[in-house]
Amino acid sequence: MAGKFKTGGSKNRVDNQTMHRERAARSLHINIEGTGEHQLQTEPNITNSPIEQTLMDAHNVPNSSSAASCSERKRTRGKTIGLKWAKKRKEEKAKPAIEIPEDLRRVVGTNSQQFITETAQIIRQNAPLNVEKWSKMPPHIIDRMVKVVNEKFTLPKDLHVLGVIVRQLRSHFNSWRYDLHRFHYKKYKTDEQRRAHCPADIDPDHWNWLIDYWSNPQFKRISEANKANRSKQTMVARVGTKSIARNLIEMRKEVEKNMEEDNEAPEEPEYMRLWGKVRKKKDGTWVDTDAADKYIEMQTLHETQLREKGEDILTTREAYTIVLKHRSGYVRGMGPGPEPLERGGVRGQRLREQIREDIEAEMTVRIQAEVEARMAEKEAEVQARIAQREADAEARLTQREARLEHMESQMQAMMQHLAQMGMPIPMQSTSTEK
């Protein structure tokens, strides 16, 4: 009797769990309906009884036996359904507006976390895993995901926005693959064990493809090289899940608020305050000695700007490029997003310097030739003006001499006329006048 009663009690508990799960599933579909989110698809597992399947779900066991394989699993797109944001959309009845400043090229502002979460969901629902890397992703799939992002959010109309969206999707795709490799693939020692433990939200065919890809010696060689290169990095981000760009925007808004209330500007420039915000621990100490040393260099740079120019007008990007040195493709200290002032690395810098020297030399020769040509032209103009003035002076002199001769002839004619009339003519006066 005791055993029978115990069995019956266990069956009743299982039935109650099944009933609660069915109610939760019904409410789940009701909440998601009409929100534009992808619904969670459920299919009965024909290999297990309802009681066995419920117990498996309750204990979160991937497989009911060692003989189970990925091919026996149901094929779903994933468990991420975004109930929180679906509820928010239903309440607000409007697409969230997204801020993407051109200088930061990252999603910031009030709705940034929603954008990050939902784009990760879009990746898991649409991106195939059986591609080597993001650059090999079929363009029509990327276009489809970008279209979904546009349908979910109100985006700025600037030209740089599309690149930011695609970079965010790529980041989620790489993180997803990394998590699968770290927490599922490396968890088991053999490929047979890995195939037998396919993650519940992954397409079995894609999981088998990933196992073959990750087991390839070429991939392992590249992975080890990347791991070794990453271990050499001395400036690792320590801001948690919130990006440096979001920290910077929050800091700027706080400064604006303080300016409106107290009309007091911060004493330190933005680049020093941001460095302290993202490189200090909660107790106020630096995360490492390198961060403290760079802060001292920034302080020296700030004092130099004040001493030489009277004010510090350097932007954060300019100051970090000076202190943290140039890197190709990104600005050190500001995270992914902001574009560097120059590209190409050390080799590119040398090439740019050589090109700049060649251009400067060519420009010097060209400018010198232009200056000499202009000077010759000016000299010719001056000589022409001098010649013209000499000619004008000669002409005026000739005219004056002709006028004098005419006056002299008139005087002689007058004297002759006076002589004929018998009037005395003063010879000395006439001679003097002559």
Q: Which own/partner contact pairs does 159-162 have at CB distance under 8 Å and 24+ positions apart? A: 160/100, 160/102, 160/105, 161/100
- Judged by DSSP in three states, 154 sits in strand
Question: For residue 99, what are the β-bridge partners?
Answer: 108
Nearest Cα neighbor of 177 from 222, 227, 128, 240 is 128
Note the pTM of the prediction, 2 decimals: 0.58
Cβ-based neighbours of 333, under 8 Å, separated by 6 or more: 235, 244, 274, 275, 320, 324
Residue 78 carries which DSSP code?
-
Rounded to a whole number of angstroms, the distance between the first and last alpha carbons of the chain is: 167
Helix extents (H) in 216-344: 217-231, 244-262, 270-279, 289-309, 316-324
CB 337 within 8 A of CB 291: no
The predicted-structure confidence for 135-165, as pLDDT tens digits, reads as follows: 999 999 999 999 999 999 999 999 889 999 9
pLDDT score, position 173: 96
pLDDT at position 57, please? 41
DSSP per position, 297-318: HHHHHHHHHHHHHSS----HHH
Q: What percent of the chain has pLDDT over 70?
A: 72
Distances (CA, A) of 331 to 102, 136, 349, 410: 14, 26, 15, 96
* Region of 331 on the Ramachandran plot (φ > 0 left; ψ -120 to 50 alpha; else beta): beta
As a whole number of angstroms, the distance between CA 295 and CA 290 comes to 9
Tell me if 166 sits within 8 A of 147, measured CB to CB: no
Averaged pLDDT, groups of 10, the chain, 434 residues long: 41 47 44 36 37 38 42 52 75 87 88 91 94 94 95 91 93 94 93 94 94 94 89 73 85 86 84 89 86 92 90 87 75 73 52 61 79 88 90 89 88 82 63 44
Residue type, 321: T
